[in-house]
């Protein structure tokens, strides 16, 4: 009798593997460069090298514009990139605001508005994801984009040290930034409540 043929037993699939080339693509590398530039930016500020810090900050802001554009044009969007990009933006802005507030370039109430808005956003996102058991897509609004633009303008103006020369315009920029930032935070909170109101949370189903 001929021996029975032995068929190899297929190995169970543990999970989808992701190549390093997929993770470390051009948009993600630009985002990582933005994160790595933050300690250098803070070190330059600590040495009062505001002009060099300004150049580095503008470079970091440029990578923010490039990574999203490259990801869309060349279809290089990844889940880790979708998480890292807003994380890098918030970390860069908050680091700059904290450092410049310690240098008394900004009044303390301004960083209070910025931090509270970001805390509300992060807490609200996780709360909506927890109750709905869904990964809610993050889509910036026009108010959110306007707030980010004004915050960037404040940081660049502070690095240029124009506050003393532009007294009225500087105060106007600070109050406008605080107002738009607060409105953007309330708008995001409203959107989160709308999502919760249209989906019954799993824990109550």
Please check the confidence at residue 17 and state whether its pLDDT lies above 80.
no
**What pLDDT score does 95 carry?**
94
Average pLDDT on 100-128 reads: 89
Cα separation values, 85 from 26, 34, 101, 171, 176, Å:
13, 9, 24, 30, 25
- The parent domain of residue 78 ranges over 23-88
Please indicate, yes or no, whether residues 78 and 109 belong to a single structural domain of this protein: no
**What pLDDT score does 10 carry?**
45
Q: Which two tokens stand for residue 50?
A: 């505001």
Residue 11 belongs to some domain of the structure: no
What is the CA angle 141-131-81, rounded to 5? 50
Please indicate, yes or no, whether residues 61 and 148 belong to a single structural domain of this protein: no
Lowest pLDDT segment from 15-29, 84-98, 114-128, 186-200: 15-29
Residue 6 belongs to some domain of the structure: no
**What pLDDT score does 43 carry?**
96
pLDDT tens across 29-77, in order? 888 989 999 999 999 999 999 999 999 999 998 888 887 776 677 666 7
User: What is the count of structural domains for the chain?
Assistant: 2
Residue 157 belongs to some domain of the structure: yes
Please indicate, yes or no, whether residues 76 and 119 belong to a single structural domain of this protein: no
161: left (phi over 0), alpha (psi -120 to 50) or beta: left
């Amino acid at each position: 009798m001929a021996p029975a043929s032995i068929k190899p037993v297929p190995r169970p699939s543990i999970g989808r593997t992701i190549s390093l080339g997929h993770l470390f693509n051009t948009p993600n590398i630009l985002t990582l460069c933005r994160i790595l530039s933050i300690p250098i930016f803070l070190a330059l500020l600590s040495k009062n090298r505001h002009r060099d810090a300004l150049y580095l900050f503008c470079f970091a802001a440029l990578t923010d514009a490039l990574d999203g554009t490259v990801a869309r044009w060349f279809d290089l969007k990844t889940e880790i990139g979708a998480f890292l990009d807003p994380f890098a933006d918030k970390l860069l802005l908050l680091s700059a605001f904290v450092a410049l507030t310690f240098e008394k370039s900004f009044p303390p109430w301004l960083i209070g508005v910025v931090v509270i808005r970001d805390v509300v956003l992060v807490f609200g996102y996780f709360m909506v994801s927890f109750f709905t058991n869904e990964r809610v897509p993050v889509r910036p609004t026009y108010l959110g984009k306007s707030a980010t633009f004004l915050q960037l303008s404040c940081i660049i103006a502070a690095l240029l040290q124009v506050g003393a020369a532009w007294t009225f315009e500087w105060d106007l920029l600070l109050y406008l930034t605080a107002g738009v930032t607060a409105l953007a935070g309330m708008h995001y909170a409203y959107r989160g409540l709308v999502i919760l109101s249209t989906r019954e949370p799993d824990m109550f189903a």
